[in-house]
Structure 1
Amino acid sequence: MDSLRMIENWPVPTAAVAVVRRDGTLAGTRGPQRHPFRLASVTKPLTAYAVLVAVQEGALELDDPAGPAGSTVRHLLAHSSGLAFDAPKAMAPPGERRLYSNAGFEVLARTLREATGIAFEEYLAEAVLSPLGMTDTWIDPAAAAGPGAGGVSTAADLSRFAAELLAPKVLDPSTLAEATRTAFPGLNGVLPGFGHQRPNDWGLGFDLRDHKSPHWMGTANSPESFGHFGQSGTFLWVDPVAGAACVALTDRDFGPWAAELWPRFSDAVLTELDHRH
């Protein structure tokens, strides 16, 4: 894919990208596919997936109490528990605002451990990483917000996860469909790096494209697109309408460079895919 050459002009030391088709095959790659990158918040969809597997297996329910009084597993996954960004401190009642929270994902990991009796990192490996063949992905034990932002992975591994998100086998398709619909519709909040969004729609562990503006995805991404980006300069989006997903990993922290270049890159990828059809 010619559009993937755009990363050669990104102001980053190292970048790796991959585009995955609905059937799980690669439409194109660029950069070192087995190079490990810090995921930052691209960790959250992986953590959410482990929680959703536990729900599917009956170890947890989405409406089980978790976090602050009145909050549930669903609230935590959808950043609507009221917890602060990086501290287990309630800033608002559950279900009132979309407060993006690393602390909420730490509570999720602890809730999962208590429900299953299995350490979170072990459960993630057994439930998600191993079935998908993601042998080069792990949670850095030294990371401050491990379940929320401590993941390390490669473009090759995240391509396997992207294929699962396009055609789920680990999760039942109905479970993933619920996770990629708006949870607690109409909540306003800040999308980190892009300011206030009204509404700031979110699924269960996934940022929803919807009609947010500005956004890290492109204008060519369908409103049904979902995914996540990370402050370490990483993103993963899935566009079910286009039948494609895109992984981009870099080793330069997110900043104005990414806010400008990522949407342009995503638009170029989708335009090229559309022309191929």
Structure 2
Amino acid sequence: MKKLIIGIVCLGILNSCKNTKYPISQYSEKATNVKLLLDSTDLGKNYNGTVLISDGNDILFQSAYGFNQHDKETNKIETKYDIASMGKMFTAVSIIQLKERGKLTLEQTIGEILPDYPNSEAKVITVQQLLSHTSGLGDYFSPEFDMRKDSINNLADFLPFFVNDPLEFKPGERMRYSNAGYIVLGLMIEKIVGKSYNEYLTENIFNPANMTSTGPLSGSAGGGNSTVVDLQKFALAFQGHKLVNEESFKLMTTDHFNNGYGYGMSLRDLNGTKIYGHNGGAPGISGELDMVVGEPLIIITMSNRSPNDGWAQVRTNIRKEFFGSTPEIEKFLNTEQVIKTYQDKGFDEASKKLTELGNNIIDRNAFEYAEKYAMQGQSNKAIDILKLLVQAYPDQWYPYSFLADFQLQAGQNEEAIKNFKKSLELNPENEQAIEKLKILESQK
């Protein structure tokens, strides 16, 4: 109890500043609980990143954990992290600023703003559809992009990686998260203002918000560096209508297409609390800015590890503390319990734990753990995790197919054949299983 009382009075204690005091607010108890959780459990030990929680301007908790795996530097409050797709918020704000100034409308098309755009099929896509990921455009990430990404010097250099691709669906028909679409938005900004994308951001977002440790961005779909402090400044400026007016703020944080996304803002309802912001993730990169509609709460988590290497665990537990549990949160935490049980006590105990939890785990997360083991050369452990995935999803074809693939790589051909066949029983159109079985049968 004494420790809890001290925590309420002295939130956000940094390793280098044990006596720093922070103000009491409606969120103080929850912020204290987060601090105690991170400082007293494996969550903090396994986290390599920085957390900032504030009530408007008042910082309730900020602390850094771990180190950067590349340069071994200890993480600090002022550490710069790659923001990945969090940069989409800046692109969307820029577009809405231009709308406020009468420089464009959301109904205008690519063809109207960029008449020389090379793909005529895409010229009918509107600004609104680009902002909301309902354009039909896809992505630019590919093996070719990975090989040539160092040659990208400006936004136009991204075009060859996607501009000739056919649309994946009719614009406005549905949602498909599109990095390519946000590159096009960046090109629109440059065309309209006659400046580079980063020049515009500096003059119209970073400087007005006093973000002195952000940018330049790698592109208008994301990438580039920032800090938790700068992202708090951005949140304050955005919430305070210093970057866009109140009407535009509501426009950006409204789910226009019932797809969980506004304009450059991810939207979610956690037990009646409306959350907006954006995350970013890639190998060695993870982070998120959470803001609350109608409240001054700001939560920022950033890490220089991949999402499932400590960051997702911290972010999820913080959300549970502030907004309560949800089926998605419980499913995530169940997955973590099963994996930890496997790591500590082995397969049989993990299988029992999975049964106790009603086989309620996230397939994607379990598969990521299996992949990690496989990349470390621990194929038997990877196979064990996939067997647990099969236990959790016995009526789905893909866990059997994944398991068979890993068994095949480990030389367990007979077991692989059984699971490929089981996959085909559930999905006769699984072409990969059909091809693999042909090869395996021919080798007998």
Q: TM-score, normalised by structure 2?
A: 0.51
Is the counterpart of residue 58 in structure 1 residue 102 in structure 2? Answer: yes
| 8 Å Cα contact 2:48/2:310 also seen in 1 | no
Written as runs of structure 1 = structure 2, the 5 A alignment for 1:87-236 is: 87-88=162-163, 89=165, 90-140=167-217, 143=218, 146-185=219-258, 200-210=259-269, 219=270, 222=273, 224-231=274-281, 232-236=285-289
Amino acid at match of 2:304: D
Deviation at 1:21, TM superposition (A): 2.0
Q: 1:164 to 1:149 in 2, by over 3 A?
A: same
Q: CA deviation at 1:241?
A: 4.2
Which of 79, 93, 100 is equivalent to 2:133? 79
TM-score (norm 1): 0.80
Match of 1:266 in 2: 319
Asked whether 1:21 is paired with 2:35, we answer: no
Partners of 1:79 and 1:182 lie apart in 2 by: 12
Deviation at 1:25, TM superposition (A): 2.7
Which one has a bigger Cα radius of gyration?
2
Backbone CA RMSD of aligned residues: 2.1
Contact 1:226–1:239 (CA<8 Å) still a contact in 2? yes
Corresponding letter in the other structure for 1:80: T
- Percent pairwise identity: 26
Unaligned 5+ segments in structure 2 are 1-30, 65-75, 112-121, 141-161, 325-444
CA distance in 1, matches of 2:195, 2:170: 30
Runs of 4+ in 1 over 6 A off after TM superposition: none
Could you tell me how far apart the structure 1 residues matched to 2:46 and 2:246 are?
A: 36
CA distance in 2, matches of 1:132, 1:262: 25
One-letter identity of the residue aligned with 1:57: R
Structure showing the higher helix proportion among its residues? 2
Structure 1: 5+ residue stretches without partners: 186-199, 211-218, 272-277
Considering fraction of residues, name the structure with more strand.
Answer: 1
Equivalences, count = 243
Amino acid at match of 1:244: L
The amino acid that maps onto 1:205 is G
Q: Which residue in 2 is equivalent to 1:237? A: 290
Match of 1:255 among 308, 312, 322: 308
Q: CA deviation at 1:164?
A: 2.1
**Corresponding residue of 1:3:** 33
